[in-house]
Amino acid sequence: MSNHNSSALPVGVIFSQTGVTANTELSMLRASLLAIDRINRQGGVNGRLLSPICVDPQSIAENYGSLAQKLIIDHGVKLIFGGYTSSSRKAMLPVTGRHNVLLFYPTQYEGFEYASNVIYTGAAPNQGCLQLAQYMLSNIGKRVWMVGSDYIWPREINRIMRDLIVESNGEVLGEEFRPLETDEASLFQVAKLISEQKPDFVFANFVGKSIQSFYQAMHELNAQNPIPIASLTTTETEIQAMGFEAGLGHYTAAPYFQSINTPINIELVKEYRSLYGEDQVTNMCWEAAYFQVHLAAKAAELANSFQPDAILEQIAKVQHLAPQGKVRIDTANNHCYLWSRIGRANDKGQFDIVATSKTALRPDPYLVSYSKSSASSMQMIETNTFASPADKVSL
């Protein structure tokens, strides 16, 4: 997959292959390599092949910054694809900023950030969090327990969700955070506390291995009468790790699910599985990691340059038919127009899509249209794509 001839263009790829977040990040690494391979098979960028240089930060936030620096200094990269947690992104920002290197970051995050040399291709809060809140509060109930990993992203997303719950005359019954690396016993205690209070649903934004431990604990405690869990981080990858039974009936908001029935998605999933095994699943982070490479390559081709400033000048002109649908960058904030979907996990470990937006939603990372006036972005959800009322609440 890599080509190191003299005219090859080195690009940095920073995703963890080991550590607490490796499960999802490994899929993002593989998606990036798949995109690079497809671009190279079509002749590369203006005849020059992309040469991926992959490093493993081992799920340790500060390693992303030092490895970014190493890629820039030792390999002369001008373009980096990588990062998963917000803390990993924050570690890279000063480095990429100082060296004027372009970072493509493919994970949904808390918003409220703009860096001129970062392209954000994961969902902003108005492209997932608002829709998930609306769906759950309208269809499932208003008594909510909130849990998550203890760092920037879950805390900020919970703050936004709390406002939306209060605004809908809902009630937050409790809120708990646990360290990114926490033990199963601690997560079981949280699950026990929640189960005793019987909320209508749990808003859970754990990251990494905590996801499967928490869902397994909730399943064990509530097998007869499941409490729905709504999440922005639980993808097909985590459902596979926890077991289909533990994931069954729970909700996720994402621009992409593997079950999307588009020709390009079907083709890519097939190619991905032929490369990495028939048991492999894709997820929203995989998809963003895949299409962002194409956006970068198209902009570089148009610019006839691999300089970050030249790519940034052209990126507004390019769009890409991603597995989720057509995507493009909003140069007002360097975030991506994305589709919004709500999925409910089925007994095959995949998501049945119960709601979808009519079009790709403009990113609003600062939630300018947040709260009551945010209805405009939430009305993008087509109610006719919801499951039947009985189907919605039965788990």
> What would the mean pLDDT of 348-377 be, rounded to a whole number?
77
Look up tokens 């991506």; give the residue: 336
Please determine, for residue 382, whether its predicted confidence score (pLDDT) is greater than 80: no
Strand partners, 9: 50
Tokens at 234, concatenated:
């639980």
- Model confidence at 240, in pLDDT bands (50, 70, 90)? very high
Burial class (CB in 10 A: 0-12, 13-18, 19+), 282: buried
List the one residue out of 310, 260, 249 whose CA is nearest residue 100.
Answer: 310
The pLDDT value recorded for residue 249 is 96
**Distance of alpha carbon 245 from alpha carbon 267, whole angstroms:** 28
The pLDDT value recorded for residue 369 is 58
The pLDDT value recorded for residue 109 is 86
Q: What is the mean pLDDT of the chain?
A: 90
The answer to whether the pTM exceeds 0.85 is yes
Q: pLDDT (tens digit, 9 = 90+) per residue, 125-169?
A: 899 999 999 999 999 999 999 999 888 888 888 998 999 999 999
Q: pLDDT (tens digit, 9 = 90+) per residue, 59-112?
A: 999 999 999 999 999 999 999 999 999 899 999 999 999 999 999 999 988 888
Beta carbons within 8 Å of 160's beta carbon, 6+ residues apart: 110, 125, 129, 367, 370
